[in-house]
């Protein structure tokens, strides 16, 4: 059983990313959307912890584009049709509301 975790809150001043990284499993993936894509701001603690973690990481392309954030080569930018496909590929979706 695998889970797609979805974050939409900024990692700065919020503990969702920390808690998510604590419980995410080896078969799971993480999708950053909304302000959660600020985790891709280079030179920050969230950026470094995601980069060294080696997990399957996806980014909602429109949110990265709006914030002028580049998608590093250890992440994949996706659109809505790909988001739908991801939600099918994984057994369940856990959105950290």
Partner 1 sequence: MRTGLLIEFVMKFAIALFSAAHAPSSRRALLFAQAALAGGHEIVRLFFYQDGVYNASSSVVTPQDELDLPRQWRAFVSEHRLDGVVCIAAALRRGVLNEEEARRYQREAVAIAAPWELSGLGQLHDAVQDADRLICFGGA
Partner 2 sequence: MAKSLLIISRQSPWSGPSAREALDVVLAGGAFDLPVGLLFLDDGVFQLAAKQDARALQQKDLSANLQALPMFGVDDLFVCGDSAAERGLNPKLLSLEAAQVLSAGEITALFNRYDQVITL
Give the Å distances, CA to CA, from 79 to 1, 16, 26, 46, 57.
Answer: 24, 23, 24, 23, 14
Let me know: does 55 contact 24? Beta carbons within 8 Å: yes
**Interface pick for partner 1 out of 3, 24, 35, 47 (rule CB under 8 A):** 35
Task: Kindly state whether residue 34 participates in binding partner 1, applying the rule CB under 8 A.
Answer: yes
Binding partner of 15, given partner 2, partner 1, none, CB within 5-8 angstroms per partner class: partner 2
Binding partner of 87, given partner 2, partner 1, none, CB within 5-8 angstroms per partner class: partner 1
Binding partner of 35, given partner 2, partner 1, none, CB within 5-8 angstroms per partner class: partner 1
Task: Kindly state whether residue 26 participates in binding partner 1, applying the rule CB under 8 A.
Answer: no
Task: Kindly state whether residue 3 participates in binding partner 1, applying the rule CB under 8 A.
Answer: no
Burial class (CB within 10 angstroms; exposed 0-12, middle 13-18, buried 19+) of 87? middle
Task: Kindly state whether residue 33 participates in binding partner 1, applying the rule CB under 8 A.
Answer: yes
């Amino acid at each position: 059983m695998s889970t797609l975790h979805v974050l939409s809150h900024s990692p700065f001043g919020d503990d969702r990313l920390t808690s998510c990284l604590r419980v995410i499993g080896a078969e799971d993936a993480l999708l950053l959307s909304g302000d959660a894509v600020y985790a891709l701001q280079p030179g920050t603690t969230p950026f470094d912890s995601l980069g060294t973690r080696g997990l399957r990481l996806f980014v909602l392309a429109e949110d990265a584009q709006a914030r002028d954030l580049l998608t590093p080569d250890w992440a994949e930018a996706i659109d809505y049709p790909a988001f739908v496909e991801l939600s099918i590929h994984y057994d369940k979706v856990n959105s950290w509301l």
